[in-house]
Amino acid sequence: MSSASLNVEIRRIRDLAPGIREFSLSRTDGDDFPVYSGGSHIVLSLPLGERTHRNPYSLLGDPTDRKTWRVAVRKQEDSRGGSRWLHEQAREGMRIDIAAPVNLFALNRLGRRHILVAGGIGITPILSQARELARLGADFEVHYAYRAPEYGVFVDELEALAPGRIHHYVQSRREQIEFSSLLAGRPLGTHFYICGPGGMVAASMNAGKALGWPESHLHSEQFLAPTGGEPFDVKLTASGKAFTVPSDLSLLEAIEQQGVDAPYLCRGGACGQCELEVVDASGELIHHDLYLSAEERASGKKIMPCVSRLKGGCLTLNL
């Protein structure tokens, strides 16, 4: 269960860098897309054999463009099918379903200044945020770190948006962002936004907190890909379903395959929307989410089925 579904056509596929592709989408019914805000993502429903795989991707285009939506996808070598399908099977003219946009990484429009930081493919939500801030005439800067020059996708678009305010850090040149320096001495009312690898996000959050930044001014986004594991059994108390989650499916995907309407938004362990109550667990709960606190994990009473699972035994859920 998520937001309303839209049927779209893949109008254009563009190779941006090794392992990175951009997809331009338009509605098949000819209607306009709804307006979204910078930082929003959509969930793509992708046909993988006999099952549907759902992946979240950030919208990177102009939030006011109601004719075309754009996403960029990095091929994951350990992909369970989503990014691999988009790189190997998707073709222009194909139709797929998507969920309407959700924003878990929204700009604070009351901020006096905005610092945007992207690592690798994390540039996608940052780019749409930069577009929105440029349109509003807001005070902002972008710090963009990537592996090598050829991986600096959307550099030209960024430079056109904010000449002189885009800072590049190229790993192959041994350049890196020093977050303590970047965040020090900023005026009151400054907001910080980052999307990138987990270690990079954690380093920035730690630096901000050490410098006394209010947590409400530190914004981050990081979608986690579900990881496989040992098969385990599941019982759902409300629906009466009993089934086994195989090693190559997430708990949420296995629940959906049973025809049970389970809540979700990000499908990446970040938003908390899919949280389920654990009635009983005869094995070890393996938490991979970014949402539950240490105390909530230790209680053994909650699980985020989009990315977390059980190691051995049987898991009973209130669903």
Other CB atoms within 10 A of residue 276 CB: 21
Angle at 39 between CA 132 and CA 82, to 5 degrees: 135
Q: What is the pLDDT of residues 237-278, one digit of tens each?
A: 999 999 999 998 999 999 999 999 999 989 999 999 999 999
Q: Which fold has domain 113-221?
A: Rossmann fold (3.40.50)
- Closest C-alpha among 63, 18, 64, 73 to residue 38: 63
Q: What is the pLDDT of residues 138-148, one digit of tens each?
A: 999 999 999 99
How confident is the model at residue 3, as a pLDDT?
59
The top-level CATH class assigned to 5-99 is mainly beta
Domain boundaries, the chain: 5-99, 113-221, 232-317
Q: What is the pLDDT of residues 256-265, one digit of tens each?
A: 999 999 999 8
232-317 in CATH: which number?
A: 3.10.20.30
